[in-house]
Amino acid sequence: MTSDVKYRVAVIGGTGPQGKGLGYRFAQGGHTVVLGSRAAEKGEAVAAEVREKLAGAAGAGEVSGASNADAVEQCDVVLLAVPYDGHDELVASLPLAGKTVISCVNPLAFDKRGAHGKIINNGEGSAAESAQELAPEATVVGAFHNVSAVGLWEEPGLLDEDVIVVGDVVEAKEVAMNLAASVTGRVGIDGGKLRLARQLEPFTAVLISINRKYKVHSGLRITGLSPDASH
């Protein structure tokens, strides 16, 4: 089941691989996308690249570029697709009050033993929860953590993955669940409360390990959900 609701989505970090890839997919699904960057010109340059890739796609939404703050001002939905380094300062600087904010930020660390989750607030935190604390008048959900940037940009069709969405406000989760249909062809899965972002974010380290071992772009699917269910 997919949804016909169309959103205006500001992608913060819209020039990075995850933000650009998700912005491309959202526009392909008919949503309006504003790719934000520290420099508006950089956002506009990547928007032109995305428009070029979309050329000819029926029903695609408009894609433009802007500074991060301007992108937020133009949209009701904000996707945070930034590196965890500098995340807190950037989030605190944005005019997020009243917005539905989707965090796909993965706080990961890398050493010679590979990728692993960064410890946030002694294990009792996540990037998504930090964003909610820094923007208390926004509604933050977590989603799209485990979707491969390479797949988003290079895979010709929908991705054989599921998008799990966590959050404390059902209506905000539904926005991310609907947007997921642009990526996977199915609405996302309600994975529970926002604090479970602690589990979704570092799970990406497991997928990175699998990718390295098997030379693949792995993804996550949830089995056992009936096709007749609301999912």
Q: Which parts of this chain interact with its own copies (CB under 8 A)?
A: 113-117, 119-120, 122-124, 148, 151, 160-161, 164, 166, 189-193, 195-196, 198-200, 202-203, 205-207, 209-210, 213-226, 229-231
Residue among 56 and 227 whose Cβ is closer to its own copies: 227
Bridge partners (DSSP) listed for residue 166: 142, 192
**What HEC string does 77-126 produce?**
EEEECCCCCCHHHHHHHCCCCCCEEEECCCCEEEECCEEEECCCHHHCCC
Please report how close the Cβ of residue 11 comes to its own copies at its closest, in angstroms: 24
Please report how close the Cβ of residue 197 comes to its own copies at its closest, in angstroms: 10
**What HEC string does 37-84 produce?**
ECCHHHHHHHHHHHHHHHCCCCCCCCEEEEEHHHHHHCCCEEEECCCC
Residue among 74 and 209 whose Cβ is closer to its own copies: 209
Please report how close the Cβ of residue 33 comes to its own copies at its closest, in angstroms: 25
What does the block give as tokens for 8?
Answer: 């205006």
Please report how close the Cβ of residue 72 comes to its own copies at its closest, in angstroms: 29
Helix or strand (DSSP H, E) at 11? strand 8-12
Residue among 45 and 210 whose Cβ is closer to its own copies: 210
Residue among 48 and 210 whose Cβ is closer to its own copies: 210
Please report how close the Cβ of residue 107 comes to its own copies at its closest, in angstroms: 11
Residue among 138 and 147 whose Cβ is closer to its own copies: 147
8 Å CB contact between 197 and 218: no
Q: State the helix-helix crossing angle for 197-214 and 127-134, rounded to 10 degrees.
A: 140
